[in-house]
Amino acid sequence: MDTPEKERQGRLKELAVLFLRLGATAFGGPAAQIAIMHDETVRRKKWLDDKSFLDLIGAVNLIPGPNSTEVAIHVGYLRAGWRGLITAGACFIIPAAVIVTALTWVYVRYGSTPEGDHIFYGIKPVIIAVILQAVYFLGHKAVREPVTILTGIAVAAAYLFGVNEIALLFGGGLFVMLWKNVGRLRGGNIAAFILPLAGIDTAAAEAKGATLASIFLVFLKIGSVLYGSGYVLLAFLNSDFVEHRGWLTHQQLLDVVAIGQVTPGPWFTTATAIGYLLGGVPGAALATLGIFLPSFIFVAVSNPIIPKLRRSPWAGAALDGVNASSLGLIAGVTVDLARASFSDPLTILIGAAAAGALFFLRVNPTWLMLAGGVIGLLKGMM
């Protein structure tokens, strides 16, 4: 085996080890998972710099699909090409899908959703600290201009007042693009660019009952067109599976969403739980494949475009605006999460201790979340 091939194999192994671990331990949803990926790939392993990582966040916000999973796929592609793209994405998804399938089996067998309240009591404050660390380092190193700083602050404030997050992302990008290029507008020297956004809008055929093919097609459609957070996914699932097709009841939907949220890895593995309910293990596998497959395609198509966007004055400015808006949204989500996470003096103490360990001791976030979960369990036993 020649040296380049050995190096590629080594990089694939590194990607597999990292994203298998994150897929099995990264609790807290997309914002926390992206923060952990930043800590691992930028601060610890130095595979990317802050600016490049923030560009990836901006890029995944412009395409449909689960943001944290798409960041993992981007990192894999940059690190080891096509094989890295598949390795990183699959290794991040599979552990969570297996855990969700097991919990859904318990739910089907015993008719109840496993409780994770005590564990999450201790994990939630740690998640807040992890997200704050990522916002600080990304903002400090990659968002320095007054216009992008003010855009991020404005987006965070608007989010807290209920403005649509997709509108904020594109609005922030458009504002910074026009602000930075106002001179070109005045001079009439506009270097136009067109970035076509192609989406797969495959509609599942009407069916009286769920078949394996229809399960796959419905989730393929959702994965191809869904922008926004995991909470937006809930609206799609309710429309497709409860109201339109009647395959699930409202209570079943709430139960499987709970299963998806109390497990590590991508929140989109809620699809795995629904697939299991409707079609057993084959249904779980096809639902998972359907909802995540478009992300691999979108990332493969968009990744080579990112450097070209950065070189264009217009597109680069728009990406700066989207990046600043992304950080603003993460900050806004953090405020919402903090309201629910800091419920008493102990949770405040856990969060402060985690922040100190992250900022000053550089402790791995995974260990801090495990420690928080243990504290929550111990408190629940008292």
Residue 234's pLDDT is what? 65
Q: Where are the domains of the chain?
A: 3-195+300-381
Rounded Cα gap, residues 49 and 142, in angstroms: 9
Find out whether 68 and 266 touch, Cβ atoms under 8 Å: yes
247 phi/psi in degrees, rounded to 5: -80, -25
pTM over 0.85: no
Q: Which helix (H) or strand (E) holds 342?
A: none
- Residue 317: which pLDDT band, with cuts at 50, 70 and 90? confident
Q: Is 84 exposed, middle or buried (0-12, 13-18, 19+ CB in 10 A)?
A: buried
368 pLDDT above the threshold of 50? yes
Distances (CA, A) of 169 to 58, 137, 165, 224: 9, 20, 6, 19
Mind listing the pLDDT tens digit for each residue in 5-28? 788 888 999 999 999 999 988 876
- Highest mean pLDDT of the ranges 52-66, 267-281, 314-328: 267-281
Q: Look up tokens 């393929």; give the residue.
A: 220
Mind listing the pLDDT tens digit for each residue in 153-171? 998 898 888 887 777 877 8
Find out whether 308 and 315 touch, Cβ atoms under 8 Å: yes
Find out whether 265 and 230 touch, Cβ atoms under 8 Å: no
Residue 155's pLDDT is what? 87
321 phi/psi in degrees, rounded to 5: -65, -40
Mean pLDDT of 233-239: 70
- Residue 272: which pLDDT band, with cuts at 50, 70 and 90? very high
Mind listing the pLDDT tens digit for each residue in 83-121? 999 999 999 999 999 999 998 887 777 665 455 567 768
Rounded Cα gap, residues 147 and 339, in angstroms: 29
Tokens for 275? Answer: 């697939």
Q: Is 275 exposed, middle or buried (0-12, 13-18, 19+ CB in 10 A)?
A: buried
Mind listing the pLDDT tens digit for each residue in 172-210? 888 988 898 876 655 544 444 433 333 323 333 333 478
Tell me if residue 163 falls in helix, strand or coil. Answer: coil
Percent of the chain's residues with pLDDT above 90: 28
Residue 232's pLDDT is what? 54
Tokens for 106? Answer: 């318990």
Q: Is 136 exposed, middle or buried (0-12, 13-18, 19+ CB in 10 A)?
A: middle
How does the average pLDDT of the chain come out, rounded?
80
- Residue 1: which pLDDT band, with cuts at 50, 70 and 90? very low
Angle among Cα 209, 212, 218 to the nearest 5 degrees reads: 80
| Residue-by-residue DSSP string for 309-340 | HHHSHHHHHHHHHHHHHHHHHHHHHHHHHHHH
Residue 6's pLDDT is what? 81
Mind listing the pLDDT tens digit for each residue in 53-69? 988 887 887 777 888 89
Q: Look up tokens 């395959």; give the residue.
A: 247
Find out whether 292 and 100 touch, Cβ atoms under 8 Å: no
Residue 227's pLDDT is what? 62
H helix and E strand count, the chain:
16, 0
- Residue 287: which pLDDT band, with cuts at 50, 70 and 90? very high
